[in-house]
Chain A
C-alpha cells in the first residue's frame, strides 16, 4: 500500500495549503462572454473576477441562466472567452484545448461512453494520457473501490442505475488526478434520498483526494451544506464570495439575502454609523444596532434596507415589531408564522413547537422581538 501512503501525504499537503489561506488554483480575471452578435448579442458573463483556492470545495450558486455552466465550460476549455483571462495553477490557459488542461468535468448528463464498461470508462483518461497498462489497471481498481463500484466493473452504463452511473462518472473524472474537478449540477437528476447520499459521498471523495472541486448548483441548501466557499451569481455577475456562514449571516445585497434562505426585509433610517456597525430606526420607531457590509458607510439620516433572518426573531411580550398573524403553517418541529406588520409589510418567523402549547391562530395580535445582532444593513 505504498501508493496509498504517498497519496495521503499529498492529500494532507494540499489540504494544509488550503487551510493556510490558500495558494490560488484558478484565477479568473475580467472574464466576459458574449454569445451572438449585433442585436442578438447576449452577455452570459460580465467582468467576472474570481479566485479558487487549492484544495477547496468551491460552489457556484445562482438562478437558472445566470451563467454558471458558461463559466464552467470556459474553465474546461469548451468555450472561448470574449475577453479576460483564466489561469490554472498559475498558467494562462488561453488557446489550450480541453484535452490539454489539467481539469476534468463531471457532466450533468454523466456522458458515460455507452460502448464501454464501467472499468473502461474509468480508465479512459489514463489511456489517452498514454499511461502503461499495468498502471491504468491498478488505478481503475483503486477508483472502483473508492466509489464502491467493484461489483459493477464490467457492466455497460445502460445496465446500471442512475446513482451508479453518477459514481462511475465521478471515478472517471478523478482517475487522471486532475488539479481541478468541475461538477455541473451532478446531483440534479437524482431523487432526494440518493441525492443526500451522494452529497456525503462527494464531500468524502473531495477530502480523500484533496482535489479542488468547483461545484455548480442552484440549490442553496446543497451549497450551504457542502461548500468551503460559495460564489453567488446573478445575470452573469458575481455578487458575493464567502464561506456559507458569511453568505448567510452577512449577505451583501438584497439578491443574495433573498436567494439564500428565508429573509425579512425592513425599511429603516440610519441614526448613526461607525465602521461596520450602525444604529438604525425601524418603522415602528425602535432604534437598534445593525451590522454593515464591508466598505459601505451609510450616512446618518439616509434610508436603508435591513434584513432579518426568521430564526433571529421570536414572539415576545414586548419587542420592536407589532402585527397580526395572517397565516400559520405547521411544519412538525416548528410553525412558520406570516405576520402583517402594523407599519406595513410582511414578516415571517419560525416558532418552535413544544408539547402542550399552541402557536397563535391567524388573526391574533403579536409582538416580535429581534435578537441581538440579528439586523443587517444591505447594499442599496
Chain B
C-alpha cells in the first residue's frame, strides 16, 4: 500500500538539496583521503600516487608516541566509562523507582548538555589545584576527564538495551533457583553484552576524538593525536597529516560500524 501522508521527498528540489548536502559533507573527507596518497608535498596539486606519507608518519616517533597515548587513553577511559555506565543503567532501570532518579539521569547526561569548553575550564581549575596540592602530574587527570565525559555515550545504548529487555526473563531465572548474582551473570549480562560493546565502541570513538577537554587538562608531553595534529597545523602542513587523519578515520568508521551493527541487533 502507498503511503498517502506527508512526504518530505515530494517537495520540489528535495533531491537537489539532499545531493548537495551529501556532496558538501563528504567532499572534504574524500579530498583528505585522496591527497594522503599524493607523491608531492602539496595539499592541492596532485603529483602521482604514493604511500610515501604513510611511511613518513609511521617512522615519525612523535606520531607513534601520541597515537599510542590516544589509543591507550581511549581504551582505558572507555573501559571505565562502560563499567560505570553499566552499573548506572542497571541502577536506573532494575531497581524500584527511588527518590531523585530523574535527577541522577540528568546528572549522568550532564556532559551532553554543558558546553565542552565549560567542562574544560572547570576541570582545568580543579585539576590545577589538585596538582599543586599533591604534586601528581601523571595521566590520571586525562583518564578521569575522558571517563567522565564518555559515560553518557556509553550509558545511552546500554540503557536502551536494558529497557527493551523482557523483565520476565530475569524473573524466570530467579524462579529457577538462581540467586540475584546468578541471574545477573547468566541472563542479564549475556543479553546486555551487545549493548555494552556498543557503548564501549561509542565511548572509545568519543574519547579518541575529544580535543577541547584534552587541551585544557593535559600536562606537558601529554599530547593526544588530535591535540598534536592541531599543534602541527600551526606549522607547516604536509600530506603526512592527511595520512594520519585517514588512518584515524578508518579506525573511527570501524568502531562506529561495530556500534551500529550491535545496537541494531534485537535481543
Docked-complex contact A113 and B169, CB < 8 angstroms: yes
Instruction: With CB as the reference atom, state the residue of chain A lying closest to B172.
Output: A111
Docked-complex contact B171 and A111, CB < 8 angstroms: yes
Docked-complex contact B168 and A107, CB < 8 angstroms: yes
Interface size on B, residues (CB 8 A): 19
Docked-complex contact B171 and A104, CB < 8 angstroms: no
Set of chain B residues within 8 Å of A125, measured between Cβ atoms:
176-177
Q: Nearest chain A CB to B178's CB is how many angstroms away?
A: 5
Central interface residue in B169, B177, B178, B187, by most chain A CB within 10 Å: B177
Set of chain A residues within 8 Å of B187, measured between Cβ atoms:
113
Task: Tell me the bound Cα distance from A173 to B187 in angstroms.
Answer: 16
Set of chain A residues within 8 Å of B182, measured between Cβ atoms:
128
Q: Nearest chain A CB to B30's CB is how many angstroms away?
A: 41
Docked-complex contact A99 and B169, CB < 8 angstroms: no
Interface string of A109-124 (1 = CB under 8 A from B): 1010111000000001
Known A-B contacts A78-B171, A128-B182; the reply to A111 vs B166 at CB < 8 A is yes
Within 8 A of B (CB), among A71-108: 76-78, 97-100, 103-105, 107
Set of chain A residues within 8 Å of B186, measured between Cβ atoms:
124, 128
A-B contacts counted at CB < 8 A amount to 60
Task: Tell me the bound Cα distance from A291 to B175 in angstroms.
Answer: 45
Interface string of B55-90 (1 = CB under 8 A from A): 000000000000000000000000000000000000
Known A-B contacts A113-B187, A115-B190, A115-B191; the reply to A107 vs B172 at CB < 8 A is yes
Q: Is B174 at the interface (CB under 8 A from chain A)?
A: yes
Q: Is A176 at the interface (CB under 8 A from chain B)?
A: yes
Known A-B contacts A109-B166, A111-B166; the reply to A124 vs B176 at CB < 8 A is yes
Interface size on A, residues (CB 8 A): 23
Within 8 A of A (CB), among B200-234: none
Q: Is B21 at the interface (CB under 8 A from chain A)?
A: no
Set of chain A residues within 8 Å of B169, measured between Cβ atoms:
111, 113-114
Interface string of B171-203 (1 = CB under 8 A from A): 111111111101000110011000000000000
Set of chain A residues within 8 Å of B47, measured between Cβ atoms:
none
Q: Nearest chain B CB to A80's CB is how many angstroms away?
A: 12
Docked-complex contact A99 and B191, CB < 8 angstroms: no
Task: Tell me the bound Cα distance from A293 to B190 in angstroms.
Answer: 56
B interface with A by C-beta (< 8 Å): 166, 168-169, 171-180, 182, 186-187, 190-191, 267
The 9 A-B residue pairs with the shortest CB-CB distance in the complex, in nearest-first order: A125-B176, A111-B172, A128-B177, A111-B168, A98-B174, A128-B178, A98-B175, A99-B177, A105-B175
A interface with B by C-beta (< 8 Å): 76-78, 97-100, 103-105, 107, 109, 111, 113-115, 124-125, 128-129, 172-173, 176
